[in-house]
A and B are shown apart, each in its own frame.
Chain A
Amino acid sequence: NAGVTQTPKFRILKIGQSMTLQCTQDMNHNYMYWYRQDPGMGLKLIYYSVGAGITDKGEVPNGYNVSRSTTEDFPLRLELAAPSQTSVYFCASTPAVTDTQYFGPGTRLTVL
């Protein structure tokens, strides 16, 4: 099992550009999450999904969109990149909310 994979590992965007952060898990987990991590702020939940076709907002959803067309994939879309979106983004999955979350290696995004 590859676990949770994320691409790309690093990306630099210009203000106003758009991009999609990819996340794939091969563990057949229903729950998937997108977090952003900023220094001294811990992890903030952006969006989550409880199964294919079901997504909902987390704490900091503004400027982001998600979709969940399959169990395996949970891409995160940035439509108009802003400097405030400079962060490290982590995707995670779990079979149940009371169970362990499995994290991907992260995507380091810089918006200039």
Chain B
Amino acid sequence: AQSVTQLGSHVSVSEGALVLLRCNYSSSVPPYLFWYVQYPNQGLQLLLKYTSAATLVKGINGFEAEFKKSETSFHLTKPSAHMSDAAEYFCAVRHNSGGYQKVTFGIGTKLQVIP
């Protein structure tokens, strides 16, 4: 079964510190991987996506993620956390199911930024 594992349901960092949110995946097809962000009381919006063009993917708001096939990982990083980064972050992977392709989301990681 295809799956996404996000390690750490809650992560706290100080303002200005490195942000590292972990995501490991399993996929039987070449993976398409996504990171989405959800601000309070809003829907999800795309941060970045990996589509095999480059292993280091840059997204919005200074976030980036590196695809590592050997580790089946797609961790999200940002060099310096800002208060506005406080949100919930979801990793997602494309997979085949029942003849159609679908996207499965991880359980999410809530990021707290401490002043």
Contacts and interface: CB of A to CB of B under 8 A. Distances in A.
B46 A48 contact: no
Contact of A42 (B46, B100, B102, B105): B105
Contact of A56 (B42, B49, B98, B108): B98
B44 A90 contact: yes
Taking residues whose C-beta sits less than 8 angstroms from the other chain, chain A's interface range is 20 to 34
B51 interface: yes
Nearest to B108: A42
B44 A101 contact: yes
A45 B32 CA distance: 18
Contacts, number: 52
Interface residues of B, number: 24
Contact of B42 (A43, A98, A105): A105
B43 to A, nearest CB: 3
Nearest to B105: A43
B100 A43 contact: no
B41 to A, nearest CB: 8
Contacts of A45: 102, 104
A40 B102 contact: no
B90 interface: yes
B101 interface: yes
Interface in A87-103: 90, 92, 97-98, 100-101, 103
Interface of A: 4, 35, 40-43, 45, 48, 50, 56, 58, 90, 92, 97-98, 100-101, 103-106
Interface of B: 9, 32, 34, 36, 41-46, 49, 51, 90, 94, 98, 100-108
